[in-house]
Amino acid sequence: MTAQPARSLPRRELGARRRRAGWLFLLPMLGALVFVGGWPLYRTISFSFTNATLVRLGNSTFIGLENYLFLFQDPLWWRAVANTLVFTFVSVGLETVLGLIIALALNAHLPGRGLLRAAILIPWAIPTVVSAQMWGWMLHDLYGVVNAALIALGVIGDPWAWLADPALMMASVIAVDVWKTTPFVALLILAALQTLPDELYEAARVDGARAWQIFVSITLPLIRPALMVAIIFRGLDAMRVFDVIYVLTGNNENTASMSIYARQQLVDFQDVGFGSAAATCLFLIIAILAVMIITAGRVHVPAAEARS
Amino acid sequence: MKRLSRSVRRAGFYLLLAAIVFYALFPFYWAIVSSFKTGSALFEVEFLPRRPELENYVMLFVEQPFARNILNSVIVAGGATAISLVLATLSAFALARYSLRGERAVLFGILIVSMFPQIAVLAGLFELIRALGLYNALTGLILSYLLLTLPFTVWVLTAFMRDFPRELEEAAIVDGAGPLRTLIDIVVPIVAPALAATGLLAFIVAWNEFLFALTFTLTEEQRTVPVAIALITGATAYELPWGRIMAASVIVTVPLIILVLILQRRIVSGLTAGALKG
């Protein structure tokens, strides 16, 4: 993008003035991000090499890699890593499939499409904490509507302890996350679908192609960029999951993610040095993945919201 | 035969749509129903409460500082959104309209910041907030929320401002208007709808935030709504007041849903602007 300054002004002088103004405009934002992002990140990384605790943050001693050595020997940390990976792969996978189905359904020409779109926006607008509490109540082992419905339908005989049974906890947490974030994926895919011209389908239909063939050979390749963006963005977001797990199952080891583990060390056990080491590891994993994806895949990832 | 299979497929399609709507809406419907039940009625599966009661809603405000929590959330989310919009408008204008050296580096850096896991800055932010004397204060939360709202407002507004017709801006320059005048008088009024959509998204991000609010506040009076809802406790530690939790959930969600329904077109374009145009 090259600037085309107005011809009546000396080109070079205008360019210099614009550059100065441009950087002046950027300065407050960059300063704010360094202040609330860059500096705190640097401090967290520094803490990870010390024995800092919550009560004595200031005068801590440098202990080298000790925190990291202990971290890598803690089976609970590796459990948290595994939980996070399971959560990320399963929930993003389900969100992609469900998001595709919903987007394709809403892309059909039918009356009241706006209302339908509004309906699927509702889970997205509900705060994560609220959606976790709403589902926590629905999944209640004694009085929950999910158990009542499944028993009435004859699917299960006795009520299941969705949020206490180690075999079910992760599935429940994933189900709640899928409910809450599928709309984001569906909307991104829907937006991509709506940029495709109708003639494309008509031509394929004239050629006698079946709906499934049209989807696989025409639709899917064309919406691939949007699909990739949604998957990458959701994947990186799921890696740092905290709210939904914390509200539904607390610090329980069967569902604890890396963020939950790090916060428990930092705040509950007040071990800032050790917790910072865990937090730094999570940051490094996400940063390396992000840089790899952005540079290698040349995919533009949206900074849009999905964080909540 | 062909006609029959077509109508079967049509029925299947409407069934799918009904399932989607049911899946999206039922949890919220169930929260509303439960919020009007008290006592033993709460423990029975009834799809319409036989005797709806407002007790849960009343107790929320009588026994807890829930009104204060709502006010806190409005102040914090509103403050973070306002500051983000001002800073992001300035920088998006520079990023979208001026060809600056290092522009790509800035955008890349913002992208990386938006991917920071919150936990990675938690210890450092805690130290910073305490050093500034802002622990357990709403200003501390506003400050920390800039980390969440700023990168994404810059990104979305930059995408919007790239579409802005260059001629208008050039006319202003020829008229002798400085960059700030051009931005305020010409660009801002035109991108106002985008500002509203982006602002709403930022507001929702801040309104929904949990980890910082949980960590940087201490007393019940300073809590924001998500923390208050997550930490509602009943008469005993073993008995969660589900009716009251559902009432609180309904109260904080209804305004968001109304806003989203009114502005849904704008929101969708805001959500997808960064993704498809960026």
- pLDDT tens digit string along A96-124? 999 999 998 888 877 777 788 888 888 98
Residue-range domain boundaries for chain B? 63-277
In a domain, A161, yes or no: yes
pLDDT of residue A9: 55
DSSP classification of residue A240: T
Identify which of B148, B180, B226 has the shortest CB distance to residue A127.
B226
Residue of higher predicted confidence among A229 and B234: A229
In a domain, A112, yes or no: yes
Range of the domain at A178: 87-262
pLDDT of residue A67: 94
Query: Largest alpha-carbon pair distance within chain A?
Result: 83
Answer yes or no: do B99 and A121 touch at CB < 8 A.
no
pLDDT of residue A109: 76
Residue A278 φ then ψ, to 5°: -65, -45
CA A86 to chain centre: 14
State yes or no: pLDDT of B275 exceeds 70. no
- Report ipTM for this prediction: 0.88
Mutate to test the interface with B, among A56, A107, A129, A180 (most CBs of B within 10 A): A129
Third-level CATH fold of B63-277: MetI-like fold (1.10.3720)
- In a 10 Å sphere around its CB, with 0-12 CB exposed, 13-18 middle and 19+ buried, how is residue B108 labelled? middle
Please give the full DSSP string across A86-102, using - where no structure is assigned: HHHHHHHHHHHHHHHHH
State yes or no: pLDDT of A5 exceeds 50. no
- Tell me the per-residue pLDDT of B143-196, one tens digit each, with 9 for 90 and over: 999 999 999 899 889 888 887 777 777 777 777 777 888 888 888 888 888 898
- On whether the CB atoms of residues A229 and A236 are closer than 8 A, the answer is no
In a domain, A21, yes or no: no
- On whether the CB atoms of residues A226 and A239 are closer than 8 A, the answer is no
pLDDT of residue B273: 61
Mutate to test the interface with A, among B100, B103, B156, B272 (most CBs of A within 10 A): B272
Count of beta carbons in the 10 Å neighbourhood of residue A3: 14
pLDDT of residue A11: 62
Residue of higher predicted confidence among B138 and B2: B138
Mean pLDDT value across chain B: 86
Answer yes or no: do A36 and B215 touch at CB < 8 A.
no
- Tell me the per-residue pLDDT of A280-308, one tens digit each, with 9 for 90 and over: 999 999 988 888 877 776 555 444 333 33
In a domain, A205, yes or no: yes
pLDDT of residue A12: 66
Residue of higher predicted confidence among B188 and B86: B86
Rounded Cα–Cα distance for residues A201 and A218 (Å): 8
Domain count, chain A: 1
- Tell me the per-residue pLDDT of A113-171, one tens digit each, with 9 for 90 and over: 778 888 888 898 899 999 999 999 999 988 889 999 999 998 988 889 999 899 999 99
In a domain, A295, yes or no: no
Rounded Cα–Cα distance for residues A242 and B213 (Å): 13
pLDDT of residue A6: 47
